[in-house]
Amino acid sequence: MHVHLRQDDMLRNVTPFTARQFVGAVCMPNTLPPVDSVERYDRYCAEIRAAAEPYAFEPYVPLFFHEGLTREVLAPARERLFGVKLYPAGVTTNSEAGVSELAKIEPVLDVMQDLDLPLLVHGETNGYSHDREREFVGVYDHIAKTFPKLRITMEHISTVEAAAFLDRHENVFATVTLHHLLYTMDDLLGGMWNPFMFCKPIIKSPKDRAALRDLVLSGHPKVMFGSDSAPHTEVAKRTEGAAGCFTAPVLLPCLAQFFEEHDALDRLQAFVSDHAQRIYRVTPPKREVLLEEATWTVPPRYGSIVPVNAGQVLRWRVAG
C-alpha cells in the first residue's frame, strides 16, 4: 500500500516487480511534476496499467496534496479517485511542492472528509532526523480530532511513538515497510555505510523496530503493508545520497521468511492485502500468488538499480 513506480523508462523497468507479486498497489504521486490534477491522475494510472501488462494490476494513486484541491476539482472525479497524499515541503524525495504551512490545509481536509477521500501522510517535520516522526505525532492528533470522519494513514511508521498513537483515534491507520521491520540504524551505518538502506523516514533503533514488529505480528487490523519501495539509480544513491530503498523484487519472499521465523505465516495474507481492502474499501482483481520454499540469490543489481538484500540468499520465492 505504498510504492514508488516513477516515470518513463524507470516506470517500465520497475513496475513488473510489483505487478508480479501484487494485484494492486498505492502508487505514490511524487513524480516530476507531481500527480496533482485529475488529468495527470488519469494519465498516470493509464501509464502504470500499461507498464504492468500482461498482469492485471490496479493502481491506487493518491493526488499530491495542494491547496488547489477544492470541491470543484475533487467532487466531479470522486468515484474514480483514491485519496490524497500530503507531503510537508522538503522532507523527502520530490516533495519540494509539498505543504509549507500546515495551518492552511484545513479547507482541503474538510472537503476530503465530506467526500470520504482518505488522507495519506508522510508524517515528518523538518527537525532533527531521528525526531522528525515523533515530532509529527501532534499534527496527526490535531487532524484526527478536527476531522473525525477523515480516514488518515500514517505512512511508513518507524517509531515507538507512532505505533503507540495508532489506537488513540478510530480514524487513524498505518503502513509499515519491510525495511523498517527487518533493520535498524546499525544496518545503515553500524558497520560499513550502506547507502542502499538510506531512506526517509530513517531506519531507527531496535526498540522502535520491536514496536513495529509487535503491531504487525499481532495482526493489528489498522496496520497495512506498504513497502515504500523507492528506486533510485546506483549513481544517484552513491553520489547524490538519494533517499529510498528498492525492495520491490524481494518483498513477498522476505515477508514470508520474517513471518515464518516468528511463527505467524497465517497473518501474512491479512497484512499484505485484507486489511487494506477493508480500510480503503477497494476491490482489486482476484489473483492467487504462490510462494514456495526454494532458495535463490538476490542479484547484485537490476539494470541501474541496486536492490536491498543484493547478493543475499533468500529461502522463499514467488512461483511461476
The footprint of ligand NCD on residues 18-77 (CB under 6 A) is 30
184, interface contact from ligand NCD, Zn ion, none, CB < 5-8 Å by kind: none
Number of H helices, E strands in the chain: 13, 10
271's grid cell: 497484512
| Euclidean distance between CA atoms 22 and 286, whole angstroms | 10
Pick what 81 binds: ligand NCD, Zn ion, none; C-beta below 5 to 8 Å, kind-dependent: none
| Residue 220 contacts ligand NCD per CB under 6 A | no
200 binds, among ligand NCD, Zn ion, none (CB under 5 to 8 A by kind): ligand NCD
266 an active-site residue? no
CB 178 within 8 A of CB 247: yes
Enumerate the β-bridge partners of residue 225.
176
Q: Rounded to whole angstroms, how far apart are CA atoms 218 and 225?
A: 13
Residue 113 interface partner, choices ligand NCD, Zn ion, none, CB cut-off 5-8 Å depending on type: none
Q: What are phi and psi of 122, to 5 degrees?
A: -85, 95
Q: Which long-range contacts link 282-288 to residues 24+ away (Cβ below 8 Å)?
A: 282/24, 282/58, 282/60, 282/82, 284/23, 284/24, 284/58, 285/23, 285/24, 285/56, 285/57, 285/58, 286/23, 287/23, 287/56
Cell numbers at residue 304, please? Answer: 541501474
Select the binding partner of residue 204 from ligand NCD, Zn ion, none (C-beta < 5 to 8 A, by kind).
none
**Minimum CB distance to ligand NCD smaller for 14 or for 291:** 14
Which H or E element spans position 112? Answer: helix 106-115
Please state the φ and ψ torsions of residue 119, each to the nearest 5 degrees. Answer: -110, 125
CA distance 245 to 63: 22
- Given its phi and psi angles, is residue 115 left (phi above 0), alpha (psi -120 to 50 degrees) or beta? alpha
Which positions from 128 to 167 touch ligand NCD by CB under 6 A, shown as an x/- string?
----------------------------------------
| Residue choice 10, 121, 197, 199 for contact with ligand NCD (CB under 6 A) | 199
Q: Which of the following is catalytic: 228, 263, 266, 274?
A: 228
In the complex, least distance from residue 139 CB atom to ligand NCD, rounded to whole angstroms? 16
Q: Which is nearer to ligand NCD, 58 or 133 (CB)?
A: 133
Q: How far is the CB of 26 from Zn ion (least distance, A)?
A: 9
Q: How far is the CB of 125 from ligand NCD (least distance, A)?
A: 14
Q: How far is the CB of 279 from ligand NCD (least distance, A)?
A: 19
Q: Which residues contact 88 (CB under 8 A, 6 or more apart)?
A: 95, 98, 99, 100, 102, 122, 124, 125, 126, 136
- Size of site (CB under 6 A) for ligand NCD: 12
Among 21, 93, 171, 257, binds ligand NCD (CB under 6 A): 93
Piece in contact with ligand NCD (CB under 6 A), picked from 59-67, 92-100, 212-220, 255-263: 92-100
Whose Cβ is closer to Zn ion: residue 137's or residue 245's?
245
Q: Which of residues 207-266 bind Zn ion (CB under 5 A)?
A: 228
Name the strand (E) or helix (H) holding 103. Answer: none
| Catalytic residue list | 228
Residues that bind Zn ion in the complex, under the rule CB under 5 A: 228
Residues that bind ligand NCD in the complex, under the rule CB under 6 A: 4, 30, 92-94, 122, 199-200, 228, 230, 243-244
